[in-house]
Amino acid sequence: MTITAYNSLGISQGNFSGLGGTGLVASGSEIFNGDISYLKFSDNGGFVSLSTLRYDSPIPEPGTLVLLGTGLLGLGAFRFRRKK
């Protein structure tokens, strides 16, 4: 079996071959990163079963949060000083 991931423009973002197994657990796994719009499955007969599909949203970096907090503190200090 081969799994190929494509972006929104239809350009291949990578593939994974050799997925096989019996029962509930497959003997291979793959992580595709980036802009994935759809997956194409190619096999030589048989069937495919998927589970635990996950979309991870990006987590802001600590530096970004520090910059946001500093900006909010500066805005608050500016407004406080302006009222006096």
- The model's pLDDT over 24-38, given as tens digits with 9 standing for 90+, comes to 344 455 566 677 788
Predicted structure pTM score? 0.43
**What mean pLDDT is reported for the chain?**
72
CA separation for the pair 52, 22 (Å, rounded): 17
Taking alpha carbons only, the member of 37, 40, 39 closest to residue 7 is: 37
Burial class (CB in 10 A: 0-12, 13-18, 19+), 32: middle
State the DSSP code for 8: T
